[in-house]
Amino acid sequence: IMFHYKCRNNIYPKTDGKIVRFHVPDDKVSWNSPYPIYNPTLFTSKCIVGQPWADLDLNASDFQPNWNSIDGYVNRISLTGMYEIKNGYPLNPCGRTGITGRGVLGRWGPNHAADPIVTRWKKSKNEHVFNKNSDKPILQFVAIQRKDSGEWALPGGMVDSGEVISTTLKREFMEEAMDLLQKSEEDAVKIEKEIEEIFNEGVEVFCGYVDDPRNTDNAWMETIATLFHDEKGDHVGMLKLHAGDDAVGVKWVDLDQNLKLYANHISFLEKIATKLKCHW
Ligand code: RP5
Ligand code: MG
Ligand code: MG
């Protein structure tokens, strides 16, 4: 299991600076290290209350979640293994975050997402472009700019209840990187066909906990990141990228270890760099 940073020692997102996380030094992240003065704020955002995709409050008498299992339409199984329940609250498997409650996340415990990583080789006049320092070919991936934080990220999103991951991967890419929701029926059908070809052979590169700035002690993000690499680049070359839904920008980005990306998305890309032996 990984160590988390982006969900510690900062201001909780989307709260106008009002919700400050309790300080958690590195040696107090683990639930096994005693931290008697630990007194995190309880915060569940109003924006999730009553949403169809969100759980009820844990105090609600008609809310009886089945932790660590498929609970009706809700997948409460963590990709990291069994998580603990303490005083009725699921515990973040990576340890303390400085906030209890759900923050802006809908589910108590794991919140499942999927991240498509669409890649091609950088080319100039049909030839690979190499980085001068590493002497390796440069890989490009599709990144979106998130509306919530302004950061560049993979075009991922939440798995709808009952949805299969392969559907989430396609749907989120089409919504965020191709603006599917604003297209005519005719154009939407075309986009879906193009996507079908690119997304039929994916390789899972990461599966587990995401160091997401929205995580709390009782709610956290998990993802399955899948690589769709177009070796010749002729399929993805046809795609008309257009930011949509919760994205305000979209572009092909040259892969490099110094990129600043949302959550720990750069670590998924590092695995791809190793796999495809590209510049990093
Ligand atoms: C991250 O948040 C995941 O890796 C995924 O990219 C994203 C899903 O949340 P939304 O984009 O739906 O906010 O943790
Ligand atoms: Mg989305
Ligand atoms: Mg998204």
Ligand 2: centre distance to CA 63 (Å): 27
Mean pLDDT over 62-82 rounds to 95
Of 161, 28, 30, 157, the residue nearest 91 (C-alpha): 30
What are the helix (H) ranges across the chain?
165-177, 185-198, 265-276
**In this prediction, what percent of the chain has a pLDDT beyond 70?**
100
Mean pLDDT over 12-21 rounds to 91
ipTM surpasses 0.90 = yes
Q: Each residue of 220-245: pLDDT tens digit?
A: 999 999 999 999 888 887 788 999 99
Q: What does the block give as tokens for 108?
A: 């108590």
Ligand 3: centre distance to CA 39 (Å): 31
Q: Each residue of 23-51: pLDDT tens digit?
A: 999 999 999 999 999 999 999 999 999 99
Measured CA to CA, the distance from residue 66 to residue 263 in angstroms comes to 28
Q: Sign (positive/negative) of CA torsion 138, 6, 13, 77?
A: positive
Evaluate: CB of 116 within 6 angstroms of ligand 1: no
Evaluate: CB of 153 within 6 angstroms of ligand 1: yes
Mutate to test the pocket of ligand 1, among 80, 94, 212 (most ligand atoms within 8 A of CB): 212
pLDDT at 249: 97
Which residue is closest in CA terms to ligand 1's atom 11? 157
Of 200, 270, 233, the residue nearest 119 (C-alpha): 233
Evaluate: CB of 110 within 6 angstroms of ligand 1: no
Q: Sign (positive/negative) of CA torsion 141, 147, 151, 154?
A: negative
Is residue 5 within 8 Å of residue 95, measured between CB atoms?
no
What CA–CA distances, in Å, run from 112 to 91, 149, 158, 181, 212? 16, 20, 6, 22, 12
pLDDT at 1: 67
Ligand 3: centre distance to CA 67 (Å): 25
Mean pLDDT over 146-163 rounds to 95
Which residue is closest in CA terms to ligand 1's atom 10? 157
Ligand nearest to the CA of 149: 1
Measured CA to CA, the distance from residue 94 to residue 133 in angstroms comes to 36
Ligand 3: centre distance to CA 238 (Å): 23
Mean pLDDT over 52-62 rounds to 92
Is residue 214 within 8 Å of residue 110, measured between CB atoms?
no
pLDDT at 152: 98
What length is written for the chain?
A: 280
**What is the rounded average pLDDT for all residues in the chain?**
95
pLDDT at 2: 81
Q: Each residue of 116-135: pLDDT tens digit?
A: 999 999 999 999 999 999 99
